[in-house]
Amino acid sequence: MTTFVPPPPYSPQELKSLYPESLELHLVQLIFRHGERTPVGARFQETGLAPLWPYCNSVARFKAAVVENTGEWSELAFKRRTETVGDKGQAVVSGAGTGTEDSICSFGELTDLGRQTTLALGQRARNLYINQLGFLPPSPGPQSSHYLRATPVPRALESLQQVYTGLYPTSTQGPTPEIPIIYQRTFSQENLFPNEANCRRFLMLTREFASLAAQKWNDSPEMQHIQSRIGKWVEGGVKVDGKPRLSGIMDTVNATLAHGPATKLPGEFYEPEVLAAMDKINVDEWYRGYSQSSEYRLLGVGSLLGDIVDRMGSSAKEDVEKEGRLKVSLMGCHDTTLAGLLASLGAFDNKWPPFTSSIAFEMFRKKEISQGRGLWARLMGSGRAKDENYYVRLRYNEVPVVVKGCKKPGNHLEGDESFCTLTAFKEIVAKMRPKDWQKECLMNMDKKGIPPVEEVE
């Protein structure tokens, strides 16, 4: 599956079951994969697939911050057109003469469809958390009430902007809206995706697991079937570690699947058995490490999980009635982020996350703790509650999932394993949280091969 098809909005009966009357929603952290995009590189041109696609009408609507002669700040509206080099070395404007020159995407760029699906994710969040549950205000609150962050990759930032627009459309922001703050980190410190480029030990581990996948799958019946169907378009044969890699082939296939008929590959690429085999093999290559190596989990997503838990802990210490307290966090990320998080928590379905997939980390508070507080109670600090009065629940693509460690007796709400106690969730994350990620990225560099198996507890 390449594009996530959301289910209908929750019915009143479903809502009552998903959000028990005994619990009160306290904090939502929504982390999501960017929307549909173009392939990250040009592949399979010999099949007639165009290298550059006309699905980005945003490129005709760009604005840049500029300084005028007066010293005042202004905006420069401009269109971006893409130049390529012709067979004789001449400059060629992509799409010229076809009417598409003002909608040409670059590689890996969020498309019009990707903007629509991320906007729809924000709209679903608005319907759930504002219209149905009344948890968030209908208009944006102060900056302290929300946290917005994206990776330095443009498609993640643009997806975040679309999700926020769906949650709080321009019409809800008033005549003088407060400009939202979006946080970003440098690539060297980014933890919204598994950062092998800036973690030498994690890079070593990813290569070991990639090599293991190549040994396991290159001569398998599944790979032989893929080769028999699409091998004629892959020079050197289809392999996990081929050129292109099997994951690169699937990237292009998924991007074409999501978009229009003008950018399609031959039908063999879309045969169900071919798609299923590619997904199975690539998931094993990219995510097996999380399920069987504690070091892989720690270096891959442990830091991000630590940030998520820190926000929960800080929120639990705040008075529920505090004006402007943090209520919602939106984080624009990638497929590897979501799969890494789910696999590390023992909640992964072993399917590659589709475009615009999301995980909602919801923290709840026992309702009886929240009720009956007057002025005296707030003055005495009883508006705060201990960790054992809070619960954490994950919804992946609108469906609750169960964290493996939360299944143990005493670690969840009675009768529902998907509601993990905050205490238990903190303990689960603590086992994979690095003390100093940058230092630990340089440890164990003398250890070759696959680490000893340490499955998710």
- Is residue 189 included in any domain, yes or no? yes
Quick check: 200 and 442 in contact, CB under 8 A?
Answer: yes
Number of domains forming the structure of the chain: 2
Q: pLDDT digits over 174-223, tens only? A: 788 889 999 999 999 999 999 999 999 999 999 999 999 999 999 999 99
| Pair (357, 405) in one structural domain | yes
| Pair (87, 112) in one structural domain | no
Closest CA to 125 of 316, 330, 315: 330
239 pLDDT above the threshold of 80: yes
pLDDT bracket for residue 249 (50, 70, 90) = very high
- Is residue 18 included in any domain, yes or no? yes
Quick check: 406 and 425 in contact, CB under 8 A?
Answer: yes
When the pLDDT of each residue in the chain is averaged and rounded to a whole number, the result is: 95
| Pair (68, 171) in one structural domain | no
Q: Which of 26, 34, 334, 412 is catalytic?
A: 34
pLDDT at 178: 87
- Is residue 296 included in any domain, yes or no? yes
Q: Any idea what the CATH number is for the domain that residue 190 is in?
A: 3.40.50.1240
Query: Dihedrals φ, ψ of 439, to 5°?
Result: -70, -40
Please count the helices (runs of H) and the strands (runs of E) in the chain: 14, 13
320 pLDDT above the threshold of 90: no
Give yes or no: 259 in active site.
Answer: no
pLDDT at 112: 98
Answer with the one of 30, 65, 93 that is the final residue of a domain. 93
pLDDT at 376: 47
Question: What is 354-394 written as a DSSP string?
Answer: PBT-EEEEEEEEEHHHHSS--HHHHHTTTTS--GGGEEEEE
373 pLDDT above the threshold of 60: no
| Pair (64, 25) in one structural domain | no
Give yes or no: 335 in active site.
Answer: yes
Question: What is 23-76 written as a DSSP string?
Answer: EEEEEEEEEEE---B--SS---GGGT--SS-S--GGGGSEEEEEE-TTS-EEEE
| Pair (75, 126) in one structural domain | no
- Cα 162 to Cα 65, 110, 356: the distances in Å are 20, 11, 11
- Is residue 47 included in any domain, yes or no? no
| Pair (172, 74) in one structural domain | no
| Pair (61, 23) in one structural domain | no
Q: Which of 26, 334, 335, 412 is catalytic?
A: 335
| Pair (400, 437) in one structural domain | yes
DSSP H/E element including 417? strand 416-421
| Pair (83, 120) in one structural domain | no
Query: Dihedrals φ, ψ of 419, to 5°?
Result: -95, 100
| Pair (374, 256) in one structural domain | yes
pLDDT at 338: 99
φ/ψ bin of 57: left (φ > 0), alpha (ψ from -120 to 50), beta (otherwise): alpha
| Pair (79, 225) in one structural domain | no
377 pLDDT above the threshold of 70: no
Q: Which two tokens stand for residue 328?
A: 């919602």
| Pair (69, 216) in one structural domain | no
Q: 77: domain range?
A: 57-93
Segments of 196-260 assigned E as strands: none
pLDDT bracket for residue 116 (50, 70, 90) = very high
pLDDT at 318: 86
pLDDT bracket for residue 321 (50, 70, 90) = confident
- Is residue 50 included in any domain, yes or no? no
Average of pLDDT values for 256-275?
97
pLDDT at 42: 95
- Cα 447 to Cα 443, 444, 451, 452: the distances in Å are 9, 5, 8, 11
- Is residue 98 included in any domain, yes or no? no
Answer with the one of 67, 93, 119 that is the final residue of a domain. 93
Q: pLDDT digits over 130-164, tens only? A: 999 999 999 998 999 999 999 999 999 999 999 99
- Is residue 14 included in any domain, yes or no? yes
- Is residue 67 included in any domain, yes or no? yes
pLDDT bracket for residue 85 (50, 70, 90) = very high
Query: Which residue's structure tokens are 């009344």?
Result: 134
- Cross-strand bridge partners of residue 47: none
Query: Dihedrals φ, ψ of 183, to 5°?
Result: -95, 145
